[in-house]
């Protein structure tokens, strides 16, 4: 089976940096995805890591350590529109398995 | 179409009734996935199609749930004898190809069907 853990809620200030952690346990690994989901909307793709290291895409970066079963999503220069749930998802040779998501609130 | 389309967007049904939820994936996407999402939870995998066949249906909770994709494009999720516990948002996603070991392709999600069983 697979266990994916991420914090339930986080709050951060507009303009700041926030790091959302994700730990996972799986017997096989094909990659780790991060999705963003605004309330009442579909999840949208943010990033994909299959090798160790940092992937940077504008204000968003994602890091992976396969040996530690650990990933994080880093959001810089936070904006109010970044208030959403952030879903960590692990892939083996089966479809994506999602964590419960981290609800991020950005405050002024 | 431009994205994954799901209909209806909302469905209210009485306990014990039968419902069908439709998903129209992005044109050319061979992989199609159904997920279920309850409030405050992440999407829970139900079933995955590669072309017309169900490659993995291990997430279907019981035999009241069934899905088809007869022509390898549109898929229908069918729920018999609905129960109040079936109330959730049912999400459909599609991707280009399932991918070889070590590769995966991004899944695009539809807006979901909010099912309420009363």
pLDDT for res B78? 98
Name the residue of chain B whose CA is nearest to A86's CA: B42
pLDDT for res A91? 85
CB-closest option in B4, B48, B111 to A95: B48
Query: What is the distance in angstroms between the Cα of B14 and the nearest Cα belonging to chain A?
Result: 23
Q: What are the residue ranges in chain A where pLDDT is below 70?
A: 1-2, 93-94
Cβ(B6)–Cβ(B20) below 8 Å: no
Give the strand pairing for A53-57 and A3-5.
unpaired
- Tens-digit pLDDT profile for residues A62-79: 999 999 999 999 999 999
Cβ(B33)–Cβ(A33) below 8 Å: no
Distance (Å) of CA B42 to CA A89, B39, B88: 9, 8, 12
A57 has a chain B CB within 8 A of its CB: no
A32 has a chain B CB within 8 A of its CB: no
Sequence-distant (6+) residues with CB within 8 A of B66 are: B60, B77, B78, B80
B41 CB neighbours in chain A (<8 A) are 100-101
pLDDT for res B102? 41
A43 CB neighbours in chain B (<8 A) are 43, 91, 109
Q: Return the number of other C-beta atoms located less than 10 Å from residue A12's C-beta.
A: 18
Query: What is the distance in angstroms between the Cα of B15 and the nearest Cα belonging to chain A?
Result: 24
- Give pLDDT tens digits along chain B (118 positions): 579 999 999 999 999 999 999 999 999 898 999 999 999 899 999 999 988 999 899 999 999 999 999 998 999 999 999 999 999 999 999 988 655 444 557 889 999 999 999 9
How many A-B residue pairs are in contact by the CB < 8 A criterion? 61
């Amino acid at each position: 089976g697979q266990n994916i853990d991420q914090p339930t809620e986080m709050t951060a200030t507009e303009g700041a940096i926030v790091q959302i952690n994700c730990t996972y346990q799986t017997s096989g690994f094909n990659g780790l995805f991060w999705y963003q989901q605004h309330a009442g909307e579909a999840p949208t793709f943010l990033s994909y890591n299959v090798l160790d290291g940092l992937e940077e895409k504008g204000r968003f970066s994602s890091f992976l350590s396969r040996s530690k079963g650990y990933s994080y999503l880093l959001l810089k220069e936070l904006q109010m529109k970044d208030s959403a749930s952030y879903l960590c998802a692990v892939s083996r040779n089966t479809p994506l398995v999602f964590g419960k998501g981290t609800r991020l609130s950005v405050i002024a | 179409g431009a994205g994954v389309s799901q209909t209806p967007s909302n469905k209210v049904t009485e306990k014990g009734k039968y419902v069908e939820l439709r998903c129209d994936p992005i044109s050319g996407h061979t992989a199609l996935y159904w997920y279920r999402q309850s409030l405050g939870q992440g999407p829970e995998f139900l079933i995955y199609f590669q072309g017309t066949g169900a490659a993995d249906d291990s997430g279907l909770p019981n035999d009241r749930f069934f899905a088809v994709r007869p022509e390898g494009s549109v898929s229908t999720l069918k729920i018999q004898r609905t129960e109040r516990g079936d109330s959730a948002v049912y999400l459909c996603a599609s991707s280009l190809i399932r991918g070889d070991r070590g590769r995966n392709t991004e899944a695009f999600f539809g807006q979901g069907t909010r099912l309420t069983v009363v």
